[in-house]
């Protein structure tokens, strides 16, 4: 039997990139997936891809910066299927304009800081809130939040983004702690740079190359690598895992900062 057979799932930001891959992977493992995205066209396209592959999915318009919108998306998914087992809070508030000026605390605009906290952090908290409300009705479930390596270690830029992701890590632990005895697990995935439309719009090729230098694997991960981890965390295979931040980063954040330079120094492959 497929690992997620009979499970009812919802993925925010499932219309593109990492969320799209996660929705497709969970559907391929048997879950009925609601794709909650601000981009209706993207969400509908993923629903069609899942249906073409023999899976079952629905699209719902959802803006994670709006509490009512998240609430309706989560409640709607649960009402349609009578339960909700998996919620992947994957969407973040990232635009090329905000990302470009999200440099440091001296230069960033206070309004953009608020917008990132409201979109990414508050939106993820609200996704957890309405997921928990539904999961309590059916004795538990699995919540997965999308963090980032910028939430694990500091970078030269993107202070608002990184702080919002660091706070999502702590939020994940709080949700896991409060609701674990009710059968609800809450974990996060913290990917390094993953080739997606979002990444291409904000990260220059030189930085992608530098990131490859810092991975312990000889390749950069893909959306499917993140999706494999999310599907695992969603499944009962991960029933003893909660409150964890899983670094899906090819070991990027596992080593000393001098790793790439030391490889050159020692002449390592």
Ligand X SMILES: NC(=O)c1ccc[n+]([C@@H]2O[C@H](COP(=O)([O-])OP(=O)(O)OC[C@H]3O[C@@H](n4cnc5c(N)ncnc54)[C@H](O)[C@@H]3O)[C@@H](O)[C@H]2O)c1
The residue ranges that bind ligand X (CB under 6 A) are 12-13, 15-19, 37-39, 42, 62-65, 90-94, 119, 146, 148, 191, 193-194, 196-199
Q: How far apart are CA 178 and CA 94, in angstroms?
A: 29
Question: What 8-state DSSP symbol labels residue 9?
Answer: E
Find the catalytic residue in 161, 174, 240, 259: 161
Q: What's the closest the beta carbon of residue 64 comes to ligand X, in angstroms?
A: 4
Structure tokens at 103: 């440099």
Structure tokens at 24: 């497709």
Strand order in the sheet with 32-37: 56-61, 32-37, 8-12, 86-89, 141-146, 184-191, 245-248
Q: How far apart are CA 137 and CA 127, in angstroms?
A: 16
Nearer to ligand X, 2 or 254 (CB): 254
Question: What 8-state DSSP symbol labels residue 14?
Answer: T
* Cβ(116)–Cβ(122) below 8 Å: no
Q: What's the closest the beta carbon of residue 34 comes to ligand X, in angstroms?
A: 12
Residue with smallest beta-carbon separation from ligand X: 17
Q: Is 161 a catalytic residue?
A: yes
Q: What's the closest the beta carbon of residue 15 comes to ligand X, in angstroms?
A: 4
Q: What's the closest the beta carbon of residue 66 comes to ligand X, in angstroms?
A: 8
Question: What residues have CB less than 8 Å from 252, skipping those under 6 apart?
Answer: 149, 192, 211, 214, 215, 216
- Note the Cα 269 to chain centre separation in Å: 33
Q: In terms of C-beta density within 10 A (0-12 exposed, 13-18 middle, 19 or more buried), how is residue 117 classed?
A: middle
Q: What's the closest the beta carbon of residue 182 comes to ligand X, in angstroms?
A: 26
Q: At what angle do helices 123-137 and 67-81 cross, to 10 degrees?
A: 30
- Catalytic positions are 161
């Amino acid at each position: 039997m497929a690992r997620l057979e009979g499970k009812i799932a919802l993925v925010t930001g499932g219309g593109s990139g990492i969320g799209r891959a996660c929705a497709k992977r969970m559907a391929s493992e048997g879950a009925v997936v609601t794709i909650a995205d601000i981009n209706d066209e993207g969400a509908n396209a993923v629903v069609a891809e899942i249906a073409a592959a023999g899976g079952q999915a629905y699209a719902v318009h959802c803006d994670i910066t709006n509490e009512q919108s998240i609430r309706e998306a989560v409640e709607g998914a649960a009402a349609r299927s009578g339960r909700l087992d998996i919620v992947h809070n994957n969407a973040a508030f990232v635009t090329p304009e905000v990302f470009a000026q999200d440099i440091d605390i001296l230069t960033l605009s206070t309004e953009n800081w608020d917008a990132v906290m409201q979109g990414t952090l508050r939106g993820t908290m609200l996704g957890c809130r309405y997921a928990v409300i539904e999961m309590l009705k059916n004795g538990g479930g699995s919540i997965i939040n999308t963090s980032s390596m910028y939430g694990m270690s500091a970078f030269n830029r993107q202070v608002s983004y990184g702080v919002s992701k660091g706070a999502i890590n702590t939020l994940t632990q709080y949700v896991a702690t409060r609701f674990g005895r009710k059968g609800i697990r809450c974990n996060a995935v913290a990917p390094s740079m993953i080739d997606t439309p979002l990444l291409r719009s904000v990260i220059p090729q030189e930085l992608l190359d530098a990131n490859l230098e810092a991975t312990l694997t000889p390749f950069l991960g893909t959306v499917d690598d993140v999706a494999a981890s999310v599907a695992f965390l969603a499944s009962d295979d991960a029933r003893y895992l909660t409150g964890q931040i899983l670094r899906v980063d090819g070991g990027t954040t596992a080593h000393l900062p001098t790793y790439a330079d030391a490889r050159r120094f020692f002449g390592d492959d």
